[in-house]
Amino acid sequence: MRSKHLLLFFFFLLISHSYMSESLPLLTSGRWIVDASTGRRVKLRCVNWAAHLPAVVAEGLDRQPLESIAAKVASLGFNCVRLTWATHHWTDDDQYANLTVAGSLLSLGLRKAAAGIAVNNPRILSMTVRDAYEAVVRTAADTGLMLVLDNHVSRPQWCCGEDDGNGFFGDTFFDADEWLRGLEIVARRFRPIPQVVGLSLRNELRGKNQTISEWRRNMARGCDAIHSANPDLLVVVSGLSYDTDLSFLAQNPLQLGFGGKLVLEIHTYAFSRGDRQDWTERPLAAMCSRMDREFEERAGFVARGSAAVPLFVSEFGGDQTGTSEGDNRFLSCFLAMAAQRDLDWALWALQGSYYIRNGKPGFEETFGVLDGGWSRERSPRFRERFRLAQEVLLEPGTTEKPRYVIVFHPESGGCLTANRESVVQLGDCEGRSRWEYEVEEEGSALPVRLIAGTEEMYLAAAGEGRPVVAVASSGPGRGDVSRWRVRSVSGFPFQIAGDGDGAGEGGKDLCLERAEEGNGVAVLAKECVCLKGPECTSDPRAQWFVFVASNV
């Protein structure tokens, strides 16, 4: 038993060392969040962990030990947690100051959850709900994870409804002065823990009472309250309409009385701008192009120009079981956008289950990265699918470094790799190849050069239906070097078309296409689909490849 504990200790130590390389606190510099001492970029790649529901206890403590959950988060490639909280949890002393975790769960009739915590986290059961929240924060911090504490609701409950009384200032449960007091309490209480790097002012402002003028007034007050209580924190500010809209800042940015701390946040799901079914019933390329365009108009612009600030996609996600075709299609589109923009983000959600949600004890969360037992990933392909989005791809102030591109297939999460035998396959992005492709004019066709070794190797299409290969530029038996261009009808550049032996026959364009072959995933040159018009109803995802630029 002692050896088991020693192994666990060294595992935690290894994770902590790998994730605590940044100097805290964090600052902002233009569109970047950076290390305070070095100016190097720190990319937030977070997962949401709910603690704002009626039990006001972080979910999952009935299923696994707290230390195991924190270690699992780190092992999945996340470097931070967006931990939610409810205002009343910290402001209503009569109800919550002395309420224990056991008392909270039993008051809701959750005897099974209380028994689970008694087994997995016995020290937590007798803590007050406020001390238990702090125990979660400290354990995550000790594991090397950063934390953004998110004010999710006022009254503890599931979020979010149009008329749930939690939507906007002045709603039934949303008193602005009490909200400010809650921000101050939380900012001050967690000031001694440097791994708490940010405080999110409010989740998904919404409802018939929302106005831009009240938003501006109260966001400024909230930022000042946090900064006064803890000036080290990033202040994370959400937009309107369920945090899908920051467009009103285009002409009049938010001005604070202090600098280097403002981060703006946005949410996006398959259902954010319509119905999830739209992703299966409407042309996919057109849907993705629309999402990319609207994302830029409603939020992406804040990270550009002389007044740029960091943009944090603090919620996105989809059904991790893989059974929702709409979510699958949305995620393919979003992951391409996230990689190309190298966004900071927080996935919804960690929790595989809830103590109680919408009146149902033990409610399973299909959006959860973890399964209902909180022991393994719900999707066996999770690490591969999200790996590239988790990496730092762009670093500020390094434009003098050689730039290269990654050829990314967002539907699978794979990247183009070429081995020493010139075989090109789609593999885990951890072992990806670096390529050179610099487009000077839109629509121009250029070679794609492999950056490896001393011999000049290029990506080549050997003919329709045949695998693409890496070939030398000249010499006996060498293939012709293909020239490639980014193709799109609907606007988002998702297909990469090339020439070569057999290409262009009958007016065809040959595009990269993913294909299962034997023990690996081959990349073929196939006739391009959905390039004749934006109303194409075919599924082009096998051919969705994008160039992702990196200077890291």
* pTM score, whole prediction: 0.93
CA distance 297 to 314: 18
> Helix, strand or coil for residue 237?
strand
pLDDT of residue 503: 45
Between CA 411 and CA 172 the distance in angstroms is 43
Q: What is the distance between the alpha carbons of residues 410 and 398, in angstroms, rounded to a whole number? A: 26
From the list 428, 434, 396, the residue with the least C-alpha distance to 547 is 434
How far, in Å, CA of 243 to CA of 247, rounded? 11
Q: Which helix (H) or strand (E) holds 148?
A: strand 146-153
CATH class of the structural domain 404-550: mainly beta
3-state secondary structure of 451: coil
Domain(s) labelled CATH 3.20.20.80 in the chain stretch across 37-390
Task: Give the contacts of 131 (CB within 8 A, at least 6 positions apart).
Answer: none
Please report the pLDDT score of residue 32 as a whole number: 97
Collect all residues with Cβ–Cβ distance below 8 Å to 171 and sequence separation of at least 6: 165, 207, 209
- The pLDDT tens digits of the residues spanning 198-242 come to 999 999 999 999 999 999 999 999 999 999 999 999 999 999 999
217 with 259: CB under 8 angstroms?
no
Minimal CA–CA distance to 242: which of 213, 278, 210, 219?
Answer: 210
Cα separation, 552 vs 206, in Å, equals 39
What's the residue count for the chain? 552
Stated as kind and residue range, the H or E segment containing 75 is: helix 66-75
* Contact call for residues 551 and 399 (beta carbons, < 8 A): yes
For the chain, list residues with pLDDT below 50: 1-21, 475-478, 501-506
Q: Which pLDDT score, from 0 to 100, does residue 520 have?
A: 63
Residue 512, H or E segment: strand 510-517
CA distances from 99 to 60, 106, 455 (A): 19, 11, 69
C-beta separation of 249 from 303 below 8 A: no
Enumerate the H helices of 344-467 as residue ranges. Answer: 382-390
Contacts of 192 (CB under 8 A, 6+ apart): none
**What gap in Å lies between CA 430 and CA 204, rounded to an integer?**
34
pLDDT of residue 35: 94
DSSP string, 82-104: EEEEEHHHHH-HHHHSS-BHHHH
* Closest C-alpha among 253, 353, 354 to residue 299: 253
* Superfamily of domain 37-390, CATH level 4: Glycosidases (3.20.20.80)
Q: How many CB atoms lie within 10 A of CB 381?
A: 13
Residues of the chain with CATH 2.80.10.50: 404-550
Asked if 44 and 51 count as a contact pair (C-beta separation under 8 A), the reply is no
Q: Is the peptide bond before 160 cis (omega within 30 degrees of 0)?
A: yes
Strand ranges, E, within 269-336: 311-316
Please report the pLDDT score of residue 80 as a whole number.
Answer: 98
Would you give the DSSP letter of residue 236? Answer: E
Spatial distance between the Cα atoms of 167 and 163, rounded to a whole number of angstroms: 7
Task: Give the pairing type, strands 311-316 and 262-268.
Answer: parallel
The reported pLDDT for the residue numbered 10 is: 44
DSSP 482-498: P-EEEE-SSSS--EEEE
Give me the pLDDT at residue 493, please.
81
Supply φ then ψ for residue 423, to 5 degrees. Answer: -80, 130
Three-state secondary structure call for residue 331: helix
Tokens 């000249």 -> residue: 474
DSSP letter string, 183-214: HHHHHHHTTT-TTEEEEE--S---STT--HHH
Cα(539)–Cα(552) distance, rounded to whole angstroms?
33
Please report, as a single letter, which amino acid is at residue 327.
Answer: D
- Cβ-contact 87, 151 below 8 angstroms: yes
